[in-house]
């Protein structure tokens, strides 16, 4: 059984048309027809019901389509990761991080990695909160920096920095310091807040902040991108609660009012990873 055959099957299962599939896969229709037949013969399972006119998945075919799609996709990432292990110091590692620390934690960390491994490629990506674990587990990313601890059987998590929440206001705003924040002054504000991620400790922290002031925030705008939130604050569309790290972006026109609410940053990685460079990078980051 050939992985190529399974890929042909998956495209045919989508197209349900031998000619179109043959075109998409750059083989002739006859070759495709025979490959599918060979696959069916070897499996002992009829995958399609076909007459001279129509092609349709059988129940067993539908089942295998769903399973194979997932597996083949996972396989590709495994193979890519194996290549990166082989490339070692001249390969690529992929780091997911929150935008908030782009100008604070990241630059230092990256320059220390880069000077230790000058030929190493580093890809920086942002991954949605709910995808972080899956991406790490399936080798779509190698390291994830989060504001939540993620320790599970197969993911290790360690705190690497602490940060605080700040109220972010435009320069022209009356709020100058923490003393200006009361239930009364906050109640009259419009807030731009992050999209609430259930179960995220960062979300919880913001909830906690408002509860402390006994305020239900008037939040009419939500965004998961801090930089978008900052732009909106600057334009006077509301005020926001963001990690203090954003201050290092040095955006003109806004003011940060630091609050005593701590939000830790964690580094997350797969336990027992075989990537030797990745393991060394890990040591490098955690040792500091």
Residue closer to DNA (CB basis): 26 or 287 = 26
Task: Quote the least distance from Cβ 58 to a copy of itself, whole Å.
Answer: 7
Q: Residues of 177-189 as b/e, b for ≥16 C-beta within 10 angstroms? A: eeeebeeeebeeb
CA distance 277 to 281: 6
Q: Is 86 in the site for DNA (CB under 7 A)?
A: no
Task: Work out what residue 56 binds among a copy of itself, DNA, none; the CB cut-off runs from 5 to 8 Å by kind.
Answer: none
Task: Work out what residue 27 binds among a copy of itself, DNA, none; the CB cut-off runs from 5 to 8 Å by kind.
Answer: DNA
Task: Work out what residue 264 binds among DNA, a copy of itself, none; the CB cut-off runs from 5 to 8 Å by kind.
Answer: none
Q: Residues of 235-269 as b/e, b for ≥16 C-beta within 10 angstroms? A: eeebbbbbbbbbbbeebeebbbbebebebbbbbbb
- Name 110's Cβ contacts closer than 8 Å, sequence gap at least 6: 122
Q: Binding marks (x or -) toward DNA, 43..82, rule CB under 7 A? A: -------xxxxxx---------------------------
Residue closer to a copy of itself (CB basis): 76 or 187 = 76
Task: Quote the least distance from Cβ 69 to DNA, whole Å.
Answer: 21
Q: Is 28 in the site for DNA (CB under 7 A)?
A: yes
Q: Residue with structure tokens 């460079």?
A: 277
Contact with DNA (CB under 7 A) among 6, 9, 13, 36:
36
């Amino acid at each position: 059984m050939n992985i190529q055959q399974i890929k042909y099957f998956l495209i045919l299962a989508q197209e349900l048309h031998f000619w179109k599939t043959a075109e998409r896969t750059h083989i002739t229709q006859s070759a495709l027809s025979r490959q599918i037949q060979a696959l069916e013969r070897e499996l002992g399972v009829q995958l399609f019901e076909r007459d001279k006119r129509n092609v349709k998945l059988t129940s067993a075919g539908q089942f295998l389509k769903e399973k194979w799609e997932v597996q083949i996709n996972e396989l590709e990432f495994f193979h890519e990761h194996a290549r990166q292990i082989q490339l070692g110091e001249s390969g690529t590692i992929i780091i997911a991080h929150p935008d908030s620390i782009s100008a604070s934690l990241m630059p230092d960390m990256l320059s220390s990695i880069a000077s230790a491994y000058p030929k190493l490629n580093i890809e920086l990506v942002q991954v949605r909160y709910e995808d972080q674990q899956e991406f790490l587990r399936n080798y779509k990313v190698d390291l994830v920096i989060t504001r939540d601890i993620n320790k599970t059987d197969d993911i290790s998590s360690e705190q690497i920095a602490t940060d605080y929440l700040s109220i972010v206001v435009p320069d022209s705003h009356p709020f100058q310091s923490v003393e200006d924040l009361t239930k009364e002054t906050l109640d009259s504000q419009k807030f731009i807040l992050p999209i609430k991620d259930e179960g995220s400790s960062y979300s919880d922290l913001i909830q906690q902040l408002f509860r402390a002031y006994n305020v239900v925030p008037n939040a009419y705008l939500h965004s998961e991108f801090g930089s978008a939130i900052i732009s909106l604050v600057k334009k006077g569309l509301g005020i926001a609660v963001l990690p203090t790290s954003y201050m290092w972006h040095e955006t003109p026109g806004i003011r940060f009012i630091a609050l005593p609410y701590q939000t830790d940053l964690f580094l997350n990685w797969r336990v027992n990873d075989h990537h030797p460079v990745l393991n060394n990078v890990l040591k490098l980051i955690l040792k500091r």
